[in-house]
Amino acid sequence: MDKVFIEALEIECVIGIYDWERKIRQPIVLDIEMDSDNRKPAASDNIADTLDYKAISKRLIDFVGQSEFGLVETLAERCCAIILEEFAVTRVRLKLSKVGAVRGAKAVGVILERTRAA
Ligand SMILES: Nc1nc2c(c(=O)[nH]1)N=C([C@H](O)[C@@H](O)CO)CN2
């Protein structure tokens, strides 16, 4: 299956379970792959036939930037739900990295694969 992807989308938000984390904003990074049949937009050369990665990025920047979840699991699940419910996506793979959260690790986080309910 063809994919549309968004790589290394960095957004600052309130995220974390500790008191000190509730008082600061930290960067998270999203890497997203979405199933998308490329043949129709390739034939028409029309943005209306695509999965618009700019529109999806903007929606996630707005949502994540205002979010205040404790767990990365919760934030990642909500991002997948937005993609599946608001855009013409049937399957999404999303990696959420919390950069510098653990000493000695570049990043920690979660990877989800979700499909739209039939
Ligand atoms: N599986 C998870 N483990 C941890 C999380 C999390 O969201 N999911 N969060 C933390 C803390 O907020 C940590 O990131 C602070 O450094 C610890 N473990």
- Residues listed for the chain: 118
In the block, tokens 């909500």 appear at 78
The residue ranges of every structural domain in the chain are 3-115
53-66 and 72-86 helices, crossing angle to 10° = 140
Cα distances (angstroms) measured from residue 19 to each of 16, 39, 62, 67, 113: 8, 49, 24, 16, 30
**pTM flag (> 0.90):** yes
- Quick: pLDDT tens for 41-69: 999 999 999 999 999 999 999 999 999 99
CATH of domain 3-115: 3.30.1130.10
Can you list the alpha helix ranges (DSSP code H) found in 46-91?
53-66, 72-86
**How high is the ipTM of this complex?**
0.96
* Å from CA of 32 to ligand 1 middle: 21
Q: What does DSSP assign to residue 100?
A: T
- Which atom number of ligand 1 is nearest to the Cα of residue 98? 14
Residue nearest to atom 5 of ligand 1 (CA): 71
Query: Is residue 118 very low, low, confident or very high in pLDDT (cuts 50, 70, 90)?
Result: confident
> In whole angstroms, what is the distance from residue 2 CA to residue 84 CA?
16
Residue nearest to atom 6 of ligand 1 (CA): 71
